[in-house]
Amino acid sequence: MTTLNLHDVHVTIAGTPIITGVDLTAPSGRRVGIIGPNGSGKSTLLRAVYRHLPLAQGTITVDGEDLWRLTPRRAAQLVAALPQETRSDFDVTAWEMAAMGRTPHKRPFAPDTAEDTTIVADALTHAGVAHLAHRHYTTLSGGEKQRVLRARALAQQAPVLVLDEPTNHLDVRHQFELLRAPQGLSSRGRGALVCMGILGLVRGLAHREGTWPSAGPARGSGRLGSYAVWARLVKIQVSGPLSGQGRGIWCVLAMESGG
């Protein structure tokens, strides 16, 4: 069983502590959602998981392997990411963009194998963009690009999938289609770490009944309402004011649910 573990994670940007002392576990076959307002540190945490931002302190491991001590190739075999935004100035097709997900599994400049081709085709189909395979990526709409990037992450076949605001640029239909995707991934034994800013959409990710703890000091755990999730407070400190309150506000929520 593959397990993603964050222990005492701190992230500092330009000398300012953004994330302080986060402990979080995402086992295989489970979906962990990080919910919170803009500026609460959700994306910063996820960028540390997929090695876009370095740690100031702490460890992030997958089955005991320290991600920040691994080669980029090995780390990419363990963690795939769907970031909020990905710029590409390369004149590549949607197929070629999705096929980049196979890079960690190949030798440099090695051609695609029959297995690679099958995996990429399946990923494009799963993301609902198989019909766009031969379109140039730069000509696609924002929502279409997001779905192609999702196919790239799926083609990577990493045991841990990180999705940062995955519904960005998507219409309502594709938002709910995407929110169902992590359930299929977890049923195949993958773990999913999902960052969301809209509480209502998280319902599509969960099965069990639970309550949200309130945003506020670490000791706070008031009810905000009942959702089809099990929620708990994650220790991520906001570095700036939130709703008139000062530093030290703990406001990012986590959701865990079974498949």
Here the CATH number for the domain that contains residue 44 is 3.40.50.300
Q: What are phi and psi of 144, to 5 degrees?
A: -65, -40
How many helices and strands, by DSSP H and E, does the chain display?
Answer: 7, 12
Residue bearing tokens 């991520």 = 236
Q: Could you list the pLDDT tens digit for every one of the 259 residues in the chain?
A: 678 888 988 999 998 888 888 888 877 777 777 766 667 778 888 899 999 999 999 999 999 999 999 999 999 999 999 887 667 677 899 999 999 999 999 998 899 999 999 999 999 998 889 999 999 999 998 888 888 998 999 999 998 888 887 666 655 565 556 555 544 444 454 666 666 554 444 444 443 333 333 333 333 333 333 333 333 433 333 333 333 333 332 333 343 333 3
What are the strands, taking DSSP E only, across 65-157? 65-66, 79-82
58: tokens are 């702490």
Number of domains within the chain: 1
Are 56 and 11 within 8 A, CB to CB? yes
Are 82 and 178 within 8 A, CB to CB? no
Q: Which domain holds residue 187?
A: 3-258
pTM for the structure as a whole: 0.73
Are 36 and 253 within 8 A, CB to CB? yes
